[in-house]
Structure 1
């Protein structure tokens, strides 16, 4: 009898979680993503959140009527079936059906997905996220590395530029008015 219960428990743990099950999980104040049917906690701290909010506010100031800017609670369905929640997202109104925001998860990646990378994050996982964002409709992905004070800007999965403290981060064609020195971006101390 005990062996049968153990086998059922192990089988339940191996079973992949569905999107519906994921969406029914209680909110415990932490950030999670659904990746390959498994719930992954996305690490973040106060500094991480302050950096995301500061950058989001600066992007919002430049977005005007052109775009929406969302924080880490906004989720997006990837073509892989994974549910991702970038730290900051920019959605161009012209690319939204009817110019309207979705009620639940976005049906594609944001136009600009921004991830703040913690030292514990794995490079292959980051590169997979970048590829998923582009495959799901993103036009740019920014990876922010606070420890190194660098920003890696992806304009495609294969075209990237590393910006350092003395460089200027721009919104390119997505948000032409956005300009911010990398040193200023990371000045959250």
Structure 2
């Protein structure tokens, strides 16, 4: 009999205080570089979230996710740039978030200076994917998907391997579309034309 181990949802360590609230974007970038072994994000209120690295199974899934996205990019590179889970973006609301995979249009990316591109670029990707690990909270990630939409994302996917469920978020829709079963494929729609993500590879 095959057994499945469910890890408890782990809440990220939250750091807050006057000094952190006053930290500039450059200071926050330096802080993250000094702690490169941690996964660090920042909320719109400048609360710092510290998360542990993902487990190996999640890392395997994330590699396959980014691999499929890169294969699409290899024939559509003129449309924009793809990014992996190590990439932070400074969003319009002041938060700094790092999706597991993302895409930024060429128009947005090329409008940035080289210095902006080298740090946490002040841009919201048009397309983002969050891949739930065994220790993540689905509710927390669902709230994060709404943050992406509020900041300008045009298509956002939350993938939950444990239940083989995909939640598809689009601007102007009160609820995400739910796709049940990882035998399905997801379409990049008009945001990433031609992309077909095979969910079965993320099992």
Please list every run of 5 or more consecutive structure 2 residues that lacks an aligned counterpart in the other structure: 1-14
Quick one: which of 155, 162, 182 aligns to 2:178? Answer: 162
Matching of residue 24 in structure 1 with residue 30 in structure 2: yes
Contact 1:143 1:153 in 2 (8 A): yes
Question: What is the aligned-residue RMSD (CA, Å)?
Answer: 2.4
Contact 1:93 1:99 in 2 (8 A): no
Q: When the two structures are aligned, how many residues end up with a matched partner? A: 175
TM-score (norm 1): 0.80
Q: Is the radius of gyration larger for structure 1 or structure 2?
A: 1
Matching of residue 92 in structure 1 with residue 108 in structure 2: no
Matching of residue 34 in structure 1 with residue 42 in structure 2: yes
Quick one: which of 14, 19, 27 aligns to 2:17? Answer: 14
Q: CA deviation at 1:124?
A: 4.6
Q: Following the alignment from structure 2 to structure 1, what is the Cα–Cα distance between the partners of residues 178 and 51?
A: 23
TM-score (norm 2): 0.75
Q: CA deviation at 1:80?
A: 2.1
Name the structure 2 match of 1:148.
163
- Deviation larger for 20-29 or 107-116: 20-29
Listed one character per residue, the Cα deviations across residues 111-157 of structure 1 (whole Å, up to 9, x for unaligned) are 11111123443445323322221122211111111211221111226
What's the secondary structure of 1:177's corresponding residue? Answer: coil
Q: CA deviation at 1:88?
A: 0.7
Contact 1:69 1:90 in 2 (8 A): yes
Name the structure 2 match of 1:3.
none
What's the secondary structure of 2:194's corresponding residue? Answer: strand
1:170-185 mapped onto 2 (5 Å cutoff)? 170-183=187-200, 185=201
